[in-house]
Structure 1
Amino acid sequence: MDGKIVQVIYQDRFAIIKMNAGENRFNLSFTQAMNRALDEIEARSDIQAVITTSTGKFFSNGLDLDWLNKQSESTRQKSLYESGVLIGRILTFPIPTVAAINGHAFAAGAILALAHDYRVMRTNHGWWSLNEVFINRRFAPGWLQVLKDKLSHDGVLRQAMLFGKRFTAEEAVKDNIIDECVAHEILMQSAKKLIHQLGENKQYPRATLGLFKRDLYAKAYNLLNESPKSKL
């Protein structure tokens, strides 16, 4: 694995994806490194669950706009497309997934967290926020569908998407954006506990679990795998 961008750490039967690229912004290098991590994990039959986390101030700060603005149109479209495919892959990954949100999760980074089956967030540090309205970036259809699928209340979606509210971990729990908020010291422990609550050492049939996820999120998955028709 490329330890400079994304690292996979194995603990017991957990695969921990550790994003090491600072703000972990989405560009081609980042999405390709994430996909290599998922390939590596999927090739191992002993893995019970996947936990995605980061170090430092950010979980992910969304699209790498500075990088995108310097690229050709074809490279921009390729990067947007691969970013959507990555979200769709995590959304329907055939192994249970948890986002252990250690810091800020903004824009595409907030949706990256939502794409996981479960989410646990560090208290007193970081926001979950869709700030696209402030940077004039429209949601592509697939990304928008993830928001509709994952945010259970229209009022939450209104505040998050239309008005760019910054949710603290405590507010995100209250509004069912995340499942739990805990102190940083027990973030990983709590992420593992969420999986253990499904059943100690339970391993789901991968083909079936992946198929069920694609059934549940069919519209989002199909849209995310289409060529991008509008900018995020």
Structure 2
Amino acid sequence: MAYLKRDGDVFVLFLGTEGQTIDSENRFHPDWITEVHALLDEVEASEGPAALVVTADGKFFSNGLDTDWLFGNFDKNCWYLDRVHSLYSRLLAFGMPTVAAVNGHAFGAGAMLATSCDFRVMRADRGFWCLPEVHLGMPFTVAMNALLVNRLVNQVAVEAMTTGRRYAADDAIAAGIVDAKADAESLLATAIARADLLKGNRKPNLPVIKRALHQQALAGLAVETTPENLAFNP
């Protein structure tokens, strides 16, 4: 399960289980999604200047959908995907500045989670941001498509979504997918410092600005997934 720490006025949401870092892929199990929402509730219940950093430990930021659960419960696939989408909507309109510290591989739904934050700092020496759906024979949902085409430059979206390219830090910066890079030892501190500079922007108008800024993405994310618009059978 995910867990929360605090560094001054910056909350740090870790996607993995505390103390289990090496091989944790931080996949989107339904219980994990519920836990992340609960932690975001806790962050939002705080008062005063604040910002949020989303990160993990070890090799993975997040390896995306929990495919074992999904294919074992495929009768619930639309419900599950809408639960995944709910995290993207939550972060896009979150009531304080958000920074993703991409510590390792961010694949599929995990890449989209990072993309839902305001800013991204990526580990310089290893790890990829990647949308591998084209190689897996999986479509993007209406909601995922809306997020990506509104958060990425069009030609970057075309390349990322139709080729499954793996972007290392320098390539991701050049494409505008992430904003900066840092060595593994300084990644979290760099993201926290960036977030700390923005903590004073936590005001009632911030989520209003974000909702207007991301209006099209949020509208797409609100589209309920159905068998008709999913068009996917394993």
TM-score scaled by length of structure 1: 0.91
| Aligned counterpart in structure 2 of residue 67 of structure 1, from 56, 64, 69 | 69
- Aligned 8 A contact 1:41 1:47 in 2: no
What is the distance in 2 between the residues matched to 1:203 and 1:179? 19
Corresponding residue of 1:26 = 28
- Aligned 8 A contact 1:148 1:157 in 2: yes
What is the distance in 2 between the residues matched to 1:145 and 1:213? 16
Corresponding residue of 2:111 = 110
- Aligned 8 A contact 1:118 1:194 in 2: no
Asked if 1:220 is matched to 2:217, the reply is yes
CA displacement at 1:72 relative to structure 2:
4.8
What is the distance in 2 between the residues matched to 1:84 and 1:133? 19
What is the distance in 2 between the residues matched to 1:36 and 1:117? 20
Corresponding residue of 2:21 = none
Corresponding residue of 2:77 = 76
Corresponding residue of 2:202 = 204
Question: For 1:89-142, what per-residue CA distance to the aligned partner results, in whole angstroms no more than 9, with x for missing partners?
Answer: 111101100000000000111010000000001011110000000111111112
| Runs of at least 5 residues in structure 2 that lack an aligned partner in the other structure | 18-23
Corresponding residue of 2:59 = 57
- Aligned 8 A contact 1:128 1:167 in 2: yes
What is the distance in 1 between the residues matched to 2:142 and 2:26? 23
CA displacement at 1:195 relative to structure 2:
2.7
What is the distance in 2 between the residues matched to 1:110 and 1:87? 11
Corresponding residue of 1:9 = 5
What is the distance in 2 between the residues matched to 1:150 and 1:203? 21
What is the distance in 1 between the residues matched to 2:156 and 2:79? 31
Corresponding residue of 1:193 = 193
| Runs of at least 5 residues in structure 1 that lack an aligned partner in the other structure | none
What is the distance in 2 between the residues matched to 1:228 and 1:17? 27
Corresponding residue of 1:177 = 177
CA displacement at 1:216 relative to structure 2:
1.1
